[in-house]
Amino acid sequence: MEEDTDSRKINSSFLRDHNYATEADIISTVEFNHTGELLATGDKGGRVVIFQREQESKNQPHRRGEYNVYSTFQSHEPEFDYLKSLEIEEKINKIRWLPQQNAAYFLLSTNDKTVKLWKVSERGRRPEGYNLKDDDGRIRDPSTITMLRVPVLQPMDLMVEATPRRVFSNAHTYHINSISVNSDYETYMSADDLRINLWNLEITNRSFNIVDIKPANMEELTEVITAAEFHPNQCNTFVYSSSKGTIRLCDMRAAALCDKHSKFFEEPEDPSNRSFFSEIISSISDVKFSHSGRYMMTRDYLTVKVWDLNMESRPLETYQVHDYLRSKLCSLYENDCIFDKFECVWNGSDSVIMTGSYNNFFRMFDRNTKRDVTLEASRENSKPRAILKPRKVCVGGKRRKDEISVDSLDFSKKILHSAWHPSENIIAVAATNNLYIFQDKVN
């Protein structure tokens, strides 16, 4: 995309759609794989849908950016914990891809309690000409076998199969909110409200507890873990954020249990902004390392902050996502919207960041030019190859023709989940049960 974010021209396409959406169809996570050729979504019904990018053809070069359904499978089913009399939802909380090592793809998906490692592979041939059984699978009478046949592989319609290779369960008392694959690609971590566990991808019956913030007396509980992520190239380093607006960076070389953090990132609160809602809106909903590993980004209710790992005292940059909602916090508290958890993502070069808002708006901030833009993911402007027009929210006074009043924002429409292609300017935005793909304008 052009450096000038205000004049950004973005093509749109509209992928996953149900006219009559049920609760199960609501998209709960979106993730590109490491090459950007595949895009996975998870939903509240426990399904994973994988989209594959169209290959470029000479006849239709503009179709290169389009994604079509590659595979759909049921990742998690609803369960019941009989010991605690609790229903365990099938909703997919997070999906993380593993780097591709061979022809197959591998991804981790998790609901509240169980992480699964899935293998997604193609089958374009089937074996025929067995000696001991017919082509339809029936066992042949050995006395009728008069000659030895060599089985051959015959072409068949391409099948994409998803098979669970590992199931990592029974390690979390509380709800899993994050999973992150380590840069050694041998281990990953899963985080719930009070604990973080380290797993080996090959071992399902044992994990190591690396963070435990559960107090001896639960009445003394003052904060919970909200997100956690491994450093992109230092396999010993990870961060986790809390509901108090703090981020702790830990080094696994220091101790087996990372009770003592190596670095502690917190912005001092401005006393003039102190209110009843201060603690709620300071809770961090997402934390993401930059691709370079030098910075990290955190999202709280009203802002996105970029931190330099070498400076703990305050963020390097702060971007106001929807500051016009500050006067609406009381009604947002009453309708529970103040507890919404928005994600944030970097572009491939760490120069632009993106995060969601209400009314199906999403915001982009260019770190170099300091320009920002508000765009809308909606059916009206999502005809293929349509160009998105920047939107503006009017806070008070006279409203211009192209502005929308803060009082007419639809808080039931929200962009919580989004993803950015690892190397190109292609973004995926989940709006309730619809998935939108936007890309740079192709001339």
pLDDT of 284-293, one tens digit each? 999 999 999 9
What mean pLDDT is reported for the chain? 89
pLDDT at residue 403 above 90?
A: no
Q: Summarize the confidence of residues 292-315 as an average pLDDT.
A: 96
Q: Summarize the confidence of residues 372-379 as an average pLDDT.
A: 90
Beta carbons within 10 angstroms of residue 76's beta carbon? 24
For the entire predicted model, the pTM comes to: 0.87
Distance of CA 434 to the CA centre of its chain: 15
User: Positive or negative, the Cα torsion across 11, 17, 23, 29?
Assistant: negative
Q: Summarize the confidence of residues 150-175 as an average pLDDT.
A: 87
Dump pLDDT digits (tens) for 120-136. Answer: 998 877 777 788 887 77
Q: How confident is the model at residue 9 (pLDDT cuts 50, 70, 90)?
A: very low
**Residue carrying the six token digits 């006067």:** 327
- Quick one: 418 exposed, middle or buried, by C-beta within 10 A (0-12, 13-18, 19+)? buried
Q: Which of 108-117, 287-296, 329-338, 378-387 has the lowest mean pLDDT?
A: 378-387
pLDDT at residue 242 above 90?
A: yes
Dump pLDDT digits (tens) for 35-67. Answer: 999 999 999 999 999 999 987 765 665 556 689
Q: How confident is the model at residue 13 (pLDDT cuts 50, 70, 90)?
A: low
Q: Give the separation between CA 225 and CA 344, rounded to whole angstroms.
A: 17
Q: How confident is the model at residue 203 (pLDDT cuts 50, 70, 90)?
A: very high
* Radius of gyration for the chain, computed over Cα atoms and rounded to the nearest angstrom: 24
Which H/E stretch holds residue 373?
strand 372-376
Which H/E stretch holds residue 281?
helix 278-282
